[in-house]
């Protein structure tokens, strides 16, 4: 399990590509913006999956963002916007949100986030 502090430590690695570095930064932002306290990346991803109806991908994220009511769900909107920004950075729906091997997290159950949007 990875905390935001551990993810921040990963940012100091010189071996990370700029894209992966920005992905981790966006994950940290999204975790910090989530309205409930989430300590571990895995619990954050589970919460987002519940909110988006399962797989986290661009179209699910956009659907939820369109339904958010302000001000009650503003922090959810902020958090999901960080995820949406990630998709804009990679500019390809076939790239995984996080390379689980690179950050040392087992791939099963971590993200299910290989985007399926065309």
pTM of this structure = 0.70
Q: Helix, strand, coil: what percent of the chain each, to 5?
A: 55, 0, 45
CA–CA separation, 29 vs 83, rounded Å?
9
- Name the pLDDT band for 117 (thresholds 50, 70, 90): very low
The predicted-structure confidence for 29-84, as pLDDT tens digits, reads as follows 999 999 999 989 889 988 988 998 887 877 888 888 899 888 889 999 899 888 88
Instruction: Render the burial of 27-64: b for 16+ CB within 10 Å, e for the rest.
Output: bbbbbebbeeebeebbebbebbbebbeeebbbebbeeb
């Amino acid at each position: 399990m990875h905390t935001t502090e551990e993810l921040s430590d990963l940012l100091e690695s010189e071996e990370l590509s700029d894209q992966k570095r920005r992905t981790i930064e966006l994950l940290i932002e999204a975790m910090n913006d989530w309205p409930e306290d989430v300590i571990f990346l895995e619990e954050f991803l589970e919460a987002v999956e519940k909110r988006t109806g399962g797989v986290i991908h661009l179209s699910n994220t956009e659907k939820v963002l369109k339904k958010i009511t302000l001000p009650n769900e503003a922090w959810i909107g902020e958090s999901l916007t960080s995820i949406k920004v990630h998709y804009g950075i990679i500019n390809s729906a076939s790239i995984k949100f996080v390379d689980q091997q690179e950050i040392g997290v087992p791939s099963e159950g971590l993200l299910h986030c290989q985007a399926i949007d065309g």
